Chain A
Amino acid sequence: MRLANRVRELRARFRLSQHELAEQIEVSRQTIALIERGDYSPSVVIALKMAQLFKEPVEMIFYLEEEQQ
């Protein structure tokens, strides 16, 4: 199982750049890029901040999926 997310999709819906999203949730742009690529699993604090910003429950943004072989 791996952590997948809809951050890129939601960011596009809200017309935010990575830089703008990073500024709003007070992290670096690299962190956003890493999360979108699935290379970094964010802390609960970041996940909750994103949920608040995108007005979606956390589990609708981050979810577990089967790893592809």
Chain B
Amino acid sequence: MNKKIKYWLVTLAFILVGGSIGFLFGYLSEGKSSDGWFSLKWYVVFPYDVVFFLLAGACLVLLVLVLRGLQTLNRQSHEAVDEELYSPAEQAVSKLFMQATLLQSIATLWLFAGASYSFEVSENYERIVGVLLISSVVLTGVGWILSRKVTKQMNELVPRLAVDLYDTNPQKQYNDLVQRLDESEKLQMYKAGFVTMRWMLTLLYILLFVIFIYSLLVESQINLLLVVGLLAIANQTFYFVVANQQTKKRRF
């Protein structure tokens, strides 16, 4: 086995095992009782229990979907009929990639949600932060492994657009990938980038508005307003800078 793969697998296996143990002993326990043992709780104690439950449920569903999708991927046809843009296998792998990425995003959300609650529940601060960090790292790790596996499948399906999973220079890899795209694919990529930017901006402005209203009605959230506002500005500026650079590079 490749040394690099072995290293990552062993590291992730440790995170997985450690995280699972931490999750079981921490999440399901009410805290250390006087005799020093954990006691299991099966009811809602803090608001974060509900948040945890929802996030864990979403992660579990996505995990099952990705694993099942990977199992059935080989049975999908690799040949597209003329009316279709992509073969069933390409469509399936693209859906799997989205699910694996979503799993990673929700796991990260878990980390942030938990961390914010942990500040509210000060007496359980240490335990909660520990558990949240470990469980979110475990889930992000699992999501990471799955998205790598899906990317590998994508590489096998479309070798022309294969990406190196261990490349440490994403910018160079992106440039190489763009070179390998043909003219319609470049247009699709440009459209996808533009639509993503528009959606991101719209969502950020909606979020900004919601936080602003919340600040007026309930509690002042100046820091959050500043962060989201800066993100929106950075998003817009970055897009225009990149678009401008690309226009200058273009040969007519």
Contacts and interface: CB of A to CB of B under 8 A. Distances in A.
Does chain A bind chain B?
yes
A5 interface: no
Nearest to B182: A27
Contacts of B6: none
A28 B187 contact: no
B123 interface: no
Most chain B beta-carbon neighbours within 10 Å: one of A8, A28, A46: A28
A48 to B, nearest CB: 13
Interface of B: 80, 82-86, 160, 182-185, 187
B182 A31 contact: yes
Interface in A19-45: 26-31, 33-37, 40, 42-43
Most chain B beta-carbon neighbours within 10 Å: one of A30, A34, A35: A30
Contacts of B184: 27-28, 30-31, 34-35, 40, 42
Contacts of B183: 27, 31, 42-43, 46
Contacts of A34: 85, 184
B185 A29 contact: no
B185 A30 contact: yes
Nearest to B158: A28
Given A28-B160, A31-B182, A40 B187 contact: yes
Interface of A: 8, 18, 26-31, 33-37, 40, 42-43, 46
Contacts of B84: 33
A28 to B, nearest CB: 5
B93 to A, nearest CB: 15
Contacts of A40: 184, 187
Given A30-B184, A31-B185, A42-B183, 13 more contacts: A18-B80, A26-B182, A28-B182, A28-B185, A29-B80, A30-B185, A33-B82, A33-B85, A34-B184, A36-B82, A37-B83, A40-B187, A46-B183
A24 to B, nearest CB: 13
A43 B185 CA distance: 13
A35 B80 CA distance: 16
A58 B232 CA distance: 47
Q: Which 9 A-B pairs have the closest CB atoms?
A: A31-B184, A27-B182, A40-B184, A28-B182, A33-B85, A34-B184, A30-B85, A31-B182, A43-B183
